[in-house]
Amino acid sequence: MLMYMSNSAPVARSTPRHSVSVAGVVVRDDGRLLAIRRADNGAWELPGGVLELVETPEDGVRREVLEETGIHVEVDRLTGVYKNIVAGVVALVFRCKVSGGVERVSDETTAVQWLTPEEVSERMSEVYAIRLLDAVDGGGPHVRSHDGRRLLKVH
Summarised one tens digit per residue, pLDDT across range 97-147 is: 999 999 999 999 999 999 999 999 999 999 999 999 999 998 889 999 999
Q: What is the pLDDT of residue 72?
A: 98
Top CATH class of 17-146 equals: alpha beta
Contact 126, 145 (CB under 8 A): no
Note if the pTM is more than 0.95.
Answer: no
Q: Helix or strand or coil: residue 110?
A: strand
Q: What is the pLDDT of residue 64?
A: 98
Q: Is 23 exposed, middle or buried (0-12, 13-18, 19+ CB in 10 A)?
A: buried
Per residue, what are the HEC states of 16-73? Answer: CCCEEEEEEEEECCCCCEEEEEECCCCCEECCEEECCCCCCHHHHHHHHHHHHHCEEE
pLDDT tens-digit series, residues 68-102: 999 999 999 999 999 999 999 999 999 999 999 99
Judge whether residue 10 has pLDDT over 70. no
pLDDT tens-digit series, residues 35-73: 999 999 999 999 999 999 999 999 999 999 999 999 999
